[in-house]
Chain A
């Protein structure tokens, strides 16, 4: 490995915004996204159905400091991947803001300088590499697209260095993706993501398609990379144990909302939101420690037609009248942590 290879890109001109903390890289405020999932116009007219809207993400706010890993955990339909897409610039938010280093991602204007500082690692290492492209061309794509270099020899050299950095052979660049295993493919994806010298990586379930022993290799490697290159991660996962291993802070999402946001130790030592507790109880007890667990109940409601008030109330052991009526807002419950729950607010937990 060549530690000298990749330094973070020179910081772009800093915005003059006053409230930007010196260490803060990403700030997301009141981010929401609504999808129109209605049938085509003609069908709606004939069947007399109204438009159907799916609120995938509602008023999500968080910030990520430099060199920090924030994880978003949740089950399917929690909106965690939608948040990732909006943060990285693939999906336009319906409302709310994403600021990277003080620059508003969605305010318009030229984002080229910003884009090369953000990259993404995807879930499926089989779908995230173009099967018809050679690996070296795949890794070189961002270098060429961002105009980082146009010199063939220089690009080739850089691609070789990146391959070595992720633990592959520079000669592997001449092969096609199908010649690699899942873990190796994910390394190629990481090499591609690093080729534009980004400082912020959004990782959307980067290991959930991999075998456990390969997952361990990739997770360890991602942590080493973070230390070595000073990267900042937004880490999306459904697996609490993986997240515990990777994150400094964790946001737990349920049906499009962040229900609890706290430093990693706090989440695991004293989970406050009833949903967080339920998720923890669902994690298999591999050490057979006999940790007391409650059986999980109920299913995730259909996000097109979510329950009123707190969307978790039908499954919540602590639910009462107010939960059915009122959407709880996030309340600060300690240093650097917040919870959106009426029961916690009223200290009935």
Chain B
């Protein structure tokens, strides 16, 4: 069948914004959301934490990157309300004299940025590959899904070590400095794309056989156009659910990798590196260096997870 070049989409007829808002306010989703206080609280906490992270440069009382402002005399100060605490450092300081509170804000920023980018990468790869595999079927499907199977045999930490190792070998130590972020994003992204691919492939295989897709084929639309403008919108809700749950996982993975020393170097604050550093001082009694970053990580992950679980229940009965 000759496939013609795709023409501008008919969905060019835009949905007027007031319709969207009306639909949103009228939706059962919003209603159910308002009716579950726990989820509302979780969403609020997640939102506040993410907002704090992104506003770190404006909110943090100290800049942990500014080496000039650091004073070794300030190192290992306990929180301000504990005996021997310094009122300048609310949650105390670490071994280099960095303010824990500020460092948490900055560290959370790194963690959230890396996880979001990683999830975005996984989503992009997984959705495209899954869509192509599910819609095209045949050998294309076989090849993509076998690659996915192979990918699954590597745990994310191993993937990260591999990516890190390759990057180390390719880039010289000096250039490596700024690419830590990228390595983490690629490593985490690579280990998560398979889930998206599998989910999307499954849904796409069902949608492909529906009559609206046949109707689109009948008017000569190209496969690419059918995949992205007809099938894609119908696979998005499970993807959204997966992305939310994955975000929490990615935050943990980033922390784990950084803790293990594969991720960010200790000069770059992230929740993982902070816990790693604090861990060393736990035995010497400086509990605040690990407790506060740890608590923040737990709270963030828990909040995001709660929202994700709830979304799954509401949006995607298939995954229940």
On whether the two chains bind one another, the answer is yes
Number of inter-chain CB pairs below 8 Å: 88
Give the residues in chain A near B220, CB-CB below 8 Å. 111-112, 115, 145-146
**A128-139 near B? 1/0 per residue, CB < 8 Å:** 111111101110
| Contact across chains for A128 and B219 when beta carbons are under 8 A apart | no
B150 at the A/B interface (Cβ < 8 Å)? Answer: no
**Could you tell me which residues of chain A, from 64 to 112, have a CB within 8 Å of some CB in chain B?**
88-90, 92, 108, 110-112
Give the residues in chain A near B219, CB-CB below 8 Å. 115-116, 141-142, 145-146, 196
Query: Separation in Å of the A172 CB from the closest CB of chain B?
Result: 13
Instruction: Choose from B210, B217, B230 the contact partner of A90 (Cβ within 8 Å).
Output: B217
**A154-167 near B? 1/0 per residue, CB < 8 Å:** 01100000000000
Q: Which of B8, B220, B221 has the most CB of A within 10 A?
A: B220
**B212-223 near A? 1/0 per residue, CB < 8 Å:** 101111111100
Give the residues in chain A near B221, CB-CB below 8 Å. 141, 145
| Contact across chains for B210 and A88 when beta carbons are under 8 A apart | no
| Contact across chains for B10 and A140 when beta carbons are under 8 A apart | yes
Give the residues in chain B near A111, CB-CB below 8 Å. 2, 220
| Contact across chains for B4 and A112 when beta carbons are under 8 A apart | yes
| Contact across chains for A141 and B2 when beta carbons are under 8 A apart | no
Query: Separation in Å of the B236 CB from the closest CB of chain A?
Result: 8
| Contact across chains for B211 and A127 when beta carbons are under 8 A apart | yes
| Contact across chains for A144 and B217 when beta carbons are under 8 A apart | no
A174 at the A/B interface (Cβ < 8 Å)? Answer: yes
**A188-203 near B? 1/0 per residue, CB < 8 Å:** 0100100010000000
Give the residues in chain B near A136, CB-CB below 8 Å. 13
B9 at the A/B interface (Cβ < 8 Å)? Answer: yes
Query: Separation in Å of the A38 CB from the closest CB of chain B?
Result: 14
Give A90 to B213 CA distance when docked, in angstroms. Answer: 11
B12 at the A/B interface (Cβ < 8 Å)? Answer: yes
| Contact across chains for B218 and A144 when beta carbons are under 8 A apart | no
B66 at the A/B interface (Cβ < 8 Å)? Answer: no
Give A144 to B9 CA distance when docked, in angstroms. Answer: 7
Q: Please, how many residues of chain B have a CB less than 8 angstroms from a CB on the other chain?
A: 26
Closest to B213 in A: A130
B234 at the A/B interface (Cβ < 8 Å)? Answer: yes
B7 at the A/B interface (Cβ < 8 Å)? Answer: yes
Are A122 and B214 also in contact (CB < 8 A) when A115-B219, A150-B8, A156-B13 are? Answer: yes
| Contact across chains for A90 and B7 when beta carbons are under 8 A apart | no
Query: Separation in Å of the B127 CB from the closest CB of chain A?
Result: 15
A184 at the A/B interface (Cβ < 8 Å)? Answer: no
Query: Separation in Å of the A139 CB from the closest CB of chain B?
Result: 8
| Contact across chains for A134 and B15 when beta carbons are under 8 A apart | yes
Give the residues in chain A near B215, CB-CB below 8 Å. 120, 122, 128, 141, 189, 192
A123 at the A/B interface (Cβ < 8 Å)? Answer: yes
| Contact across chains for A129 and B212 when beta carbons are under 8 A apart | yes
Give the residues in chain A near B19, CB-CB below 8 Å. 174
Give the residues in chain B near A112, CB-CB below 8 Å. 4, 220
Query: Separation in Å of the A128 CB from the closest CB of chain B?
Result: 4
| Contact across chains for A141 and B1 when beta carbons are under 8 A apart | no
A147 at the A/B interface (Cβ < 8 Å)? Answer: yes
Query: Separation in Å of the B138 CB from the closest CB of chain A?
Result: 11
Give the residues in chain B near A129, CB-CB below 8 Å. 212
Q: Give 26 A-B contacts (CB < 8 Å), ordered by A residue.
A: A89-B218, A90-B218, A111-B220, A115-B218, A119-B218, A120-B215, A127-B210, A128-B211, A128-B214, A130-B230, A130-B234, A132-B233, A133-B11, A133-B233, A138-B10, A138-B212, A141-B10, A141-B215, A144-B10, A145-B221, A146-B219, A146-B220, A147-B7, A150-B8, A156-B13, A189-B215
**17 other A-B residue contacts (CB within 8 Å) besides A131-B234, A146-B220:** A89-B1, A90-B217, A90-B218, A115-B220, A119-B218, A122-B211, A122-B214, A127-B211, A128-B214, A133-B230, A137-B10, A141-B215, A144-B8, A144-B10, A145-B10, A147-B7, A152-B13
B residues with CB within 8 A of A: 1-2, 4, 7-13, 15, 19, 210-212, 214-221, 230, 233-234
| The 7 residue pairs across chains A and B that have the minimum distance between CB atoms | A128-B211, A132-B233, A122-B211, A144-B10, A145-B219, A141-B10, A140-B10
